[in-house]
Amino acid sequence: MGVSAPISSDVGAAVSALRAGALVALPTETVYGLAADASSAEAVARVFAAKGRPTNHPVIVHLPSVRSLDDWADDVPSWARSLAEALWPGPLTLVVPKASTVLDAVTGGQETVGLRVPAHPVTLQVLDQFGGGLAAPSANRYGRVSPTTAEHVVAEMGDALNTERGDFVLDGGACMVGVESTIVGAWDETPRLLRPGAVTAEQLTELTGLPVSADPSNVRVPGSTESHYSPASQVLAVEAHALDGVLASLAPSTAVGVIAPAGSDITSSVVRLASPTDDDDYARQLYTALRRGDSLSLDVVVAVLPQEAGVGRAVRDRLLRAANSVTA
């Protein structure tokens, strides 16, 4: 085990490391991913070991451009191809029937594979030079909060990366979106929303002309298991109107952090972890705020739920999964 993984912004070093079977944590527009050569079962196995993730869970393969789609997928529905053409690079993952060459280590033995082209200039350079696909789940321990800066990756996974084997963190700054990609099941004529993200159901319908089903039946999406995205502090998710009441009900000895929209008037003595100005800003700040709550050893983080519209739906989804209790 390395002591702690170095941070670098050397794209060429990332490409060489990935070719040699090392792990490189990469910036994307959503969150940082822990990447390995998707055509090497051994490298992909090291990603699962570093995360402590069950091996039957599939990982997303990141591609350099939409032109690589047919190297990884077979029988892509035409509506899904249109989405890829319209929205890649971007925060959309398509779960499509896999090409016969895709490794079981990547798909968790399923007949489908998750694919996306991330919209981050640094990682697009890595992908272009690497040429192949990069398997990359979010660069956090299984079940924990996804990292949105290189420093968060080191805090989360530094001691699981092996610097002697060439593992490192490629720094691309803070992620612009802040929550994981929208995942759409695309194996038949019905688009299925498997995980909400910055690409919204309304956008999907507008682009495909098809209604989007919200039924993720029979697929393994660990990010949709009930407890996920969890910090160490207790998370109390509250609707905006319930904020004052919940704060008043907490014992005075409790160390409390609050995530509430800018302009919310909070009188009790709490740490203001984030004051998002809108839902995009909330998505960008959410995971940093939860991490800050942990680093301050807060007992409780009270987070106001955004409305279920736009990227607010994704923020709500992550908060409800992180939450120990919900006050409507």
The two three-digit tokens of residue 106, written as one number: 């990547």
Alpha carbon distance 303, 120 (integer Å): 29
266 binds, among Mg ion, ligand TXA, none (CB under 5 to 8 A by kind): none
**Of ligand TXA, Mg ion, none, which one does residue 92 interact with (CB within 5 to 8 Å by kind)?**
none
Contact partner, 136, from ligand TXA, Mg ion, none, Cβ < 5-8 Å per class: ligand TXA
Identity of the amino acid at 258: V
Query: 68 touches which of Mg ion, ligand TXA, none (CB within 5 to 8 A by kind)?
Result: none
Task: Write down the least CB distance from residue 138 to ligand TXA, Å.
Answer: 4
Picked from Mg ion, ligand TXA, none, the partner binding residue 234 (CB below 5 to 8 A depending on kind) is none
Contacts of 105 (CB under 8 A, 6+ apart): 41, 44, 45, 48, 55, 135
Minimum distance of Mg ion from residue 44's CB (angstroms): 15
- Taking the least distance from each CB to ligand TXA, the nearer of 133 and 257 is 133
CA 88 to chain centroid? 16
Q: List the alpha helices (DSSP H) in the chain.
A: 11-19, 41-51, 69-72, 78-87, 104-107, 121-130, 150-157, 201-208, 243-249, 279-295, 312-322
- Residue 181 interacts with which of Mg ion, ligand TXA, none, CB < 5 to 8 Å by class: ligand TXA
For ligand TXA, the closer of residues 217 and 297 by Cβ is 217
**Choice between 156 and 180, CB closer to ligand TXA:** 180
- Give the interface with ligand TXA as residue ranges (CB under 6 A): 28, 30-31, 33, 57-60, 93, 95, 107, 110, 112-114, 118, 136-138, 180-181, 183, 219-223
User: Minimum CB separation from ligand TXA for residue 140, in Å?
Assistant: 8
Closest-CA residue to 290 (of 194, 156, 138):
156
Taking the least distance from each CB to ligand TXA, the nearer of 165 and 220 is 220
Binding site for Mg ion (CB under 5 A): 138
- Shortest Å distance, C-beta 141 to ligand TXA: 11
d(CA 103, CA 203): 32
Nearest CB to Mg ion, comparing residues 90 and 223: 223
**Residues 137, 181: Cα–Cα separation, whole Å:** 11
Contacts of 285 (CB under 8 A, 6+ apart): 178, 259, 274, 276
User: The tokens of 250 are what?
Assistant: 């907490």
